[in-house]
Amino acid sequence: MSGTQVNINELKGDINNIESPELKVDSIINKIISDISQVNVKIDIRDRSFPSQVIKKIEHNQLKNKRSIIQQYKVYSSHIESAYNIAEKNIINGKQSAMLILNDMYIKSLNKFNIDYYSPDMELIHNNADNIIDDVIKQLNKFLYSSANVSFSKEQMLIGINVVVAHAFVECYVLENPNDSN
C-alpha cells in the first residue's frame, strides 16, 4: 500500500477533516435530470427547426453556438415538463426553486461579464450570449456534482444539463426575454 505521509509540526487553529455537509444534500435539478435521462426519445439531428417564440428569443439574445442545446431540449421538452411536475408533487415549489437557482447562476454570469442584471446592456448580452450560457452550464455542472443524489452517467449528466439550461432559456430564466425589451 502506498500513500502520502504528511507531518504536521504545529497547529494554529481548528482542523475539520470530514466530508462537507453540502455534499449530503439532494438536488432538485439532479432529480429532474435523472427523470429525463431515463426516457426513451427519438433524436433526429437533421431537424433544426424551432418554434417561432424560441426563434424570437434566440434572435433577441443573438445566441449562436449554443443553439445546439436548444435542439437537445426540443427532443426532451415534454419530458422535462413531466419531470418538473413529478418534482412539484414531491417537493414544495420544486420547479420554481430549480428555476430560481438557474436564474441566480445567470445573474452570477452577468456579473462575470460586467453586465447589470437590473438594466442589462443588450449589446453586451449579444456579444456574450454563448459565453453566458457556457458559464451557466459550468456552474450547474459544479453544483450537481457536489449534490448527494448523482445517480446517472456522465453522458446523461451532460445532456441533462444542456436540456435543463435550454429549458431555463426558453422559460426566460437565463438570458433576456424579448417581450421585456423597450
| Domain count for the chain | 1
- Domain assignment of residue 171, yes or no: yes
- pTM across the whole model: 0.81
Q: Let me know if 178 is exposed, middle or buried by CB neighbors in 10 A (0-12, 13-18, 19+).
A: middle
- Domain assignment of residue 46, yes or no: yes
Please state, in angstroms and rounded to a whole number, the distance separating the CA atoms of residues 95 and 93: 6
- Domain assignment of residue 172, yes or no: yes
Domain residues for the domain of 35 are 28-148+164-180
Q: 38 falls in which pLDDT band (50, 70, 90)?
A: confident
- Domain assignment of residue 134, yes or no: yes
- Domain assignment of residue 159, yes or no: no
- Domain assignment of residue 8, yes or no: no
Per-residue pLDDT for 182 more than 60?
Answer: no
Give the pLDDT mean for 21-49: 74
- Domain assignment of residue 141, yes or no: yes
For residue 149, the model assigns a pLDDT of 64
User: Could you count the other beta carbons within 10 Å of the beta carbon of residue 140?
Assistant: 24
List, for residues 71-89, the tens digit of each pLDDT value.
Answer: 889 888 888 888 998 888 8
List, for residues 119-151, the tens digit of each pLDDT value.
Answer: 999 999 999 999 999 999 999 999 888 776 667
Contacts of 63 by beta carbon, 8 Å cutoff, 6+ apart: 57, 70, 129, 130, 133, 169, 175
Choice between 73 and 40, residue whose per-residue pLDDT is larger: 73
- Domain assignment of residue 77, yes or no: yes
